[in-house]
Structure 1
């Protein structure tokens, strides 16, 4: 199983869910997902959480997994990261197009606003609900500050989870890496 696909599949079982629910969420054929769910269960990565009618509900055995290096081709980072980054980029581009359509903007000819460095976005401007946002900033951090920043961002996302009826599924991609982004 592809590493990225496996991680996405396991993520569907952070709360109890059926294989058909996961297939629907991933927009994948039910028989393919069911096959991989059985394999993940047999490996101990998923466990039975209960039943929903005749269907079995599964839950991830843990929230964090340590995958042996021999099972993943980490010698070539693009093997793992490339497909995920292409999917993130495509999903973000579609979110922008969807947001523009909801705002009544034409598909072309609109200005694009980018916030660089310490320049804070103007929150007085009404961008509508769920406007896509991207913030990029390079900062000097000690190793302790780097870890503290990652922990703080994770804590923020954990606190944001809600079951409100007006809530909409939203994706945050928090990427941190040593070095600086060079756009050429």
Structure 2
């Protein structure tokens, strides 16, 4: 489907409530069902569903009792370059990266609080090397983790790594569990090496 208005482009590019929310409507679904699937507040999701509907990215697909069922207007959207300033990649990725880093920082603070940190005299441990932290230490449930590594890969290995990581997340998403908490994994990969300065 061609995107024809700035409002459509802006709605699609919204990191949290754009394409991510539209994916919940690849088959007919209610706003409350989408909110449950995304573990987001129903009133917030309903507001953004209304925005997607108003700009033509969602359509009414029918009703389930008193609830309206929606479906995405298409499975693929083509945004003209004139509607997205691709010359500056931060226009697209900047808001997403800010949300990721802010949420990750809050997860660290929450984990520290649950572990009883920080107290006077608490140390910070940085683990070097290829393995993970010492398995004899217990970091507590849902400890935030970040791994950064640059490796030499062929194009085939690069794609295979993407596929393998996606397969792990797809499997975890469908596994049944008795006790669970929503957890977020951000998989990023790009050609080149990270330079922080």
Q: Judge same fold: TM > 0.5, yes or no.
A: yes
- 26, 30, 54: which one aligns with 2:66: 54
CA deviations over 1:141-174 (Å, ceiling 9, x no partner): 1111111111111111101114534111111111
Contact 2:31–2:42 under 8 Å retained in 1: no
Shift of 1:123: 2.4
**Distance change in 2, residues 1:10/1:59 (3 Å):** farther
* Residue 18 of structure 1: aligned partner: 31
- TM-score, normalised to structure 2, is 0.74
Instruction: Show structure 1 runs of 5+ residues with no match.
Output: none
* Residue 8 of structure 1: aligned partner: 17
Contact 1:18–1:57 under 8 Å retained in 2: yes
- 90, 97, 112: which one aligns with 2:109: 97
Once the two structures are superposed, the pairs formed by residues 29-48 of structure 1 within 5 Å of their partners are 32-39=47-54, 42-43=56-57, 46-48=58-60
* Residue 125 of structure 1: aligned partner: 137
Give the Cα separation in 2 of the matches to 1:26 and 1:96.
22
Partner SS for 1:146: helix
Give the Cα separation in 1 of the matches to 2:141 and 2:106.
16
- 73, 83, 87: which one aligns with 2:85: 73
Give the Cα separation in 2 of the matches to 1:62 and 1:115.
46
- TM-score, normalised to structure 1, is 0.78
Alignment size in residue pairs: 181
Higher relative contact order (CA 8 A, sep 6+): 2
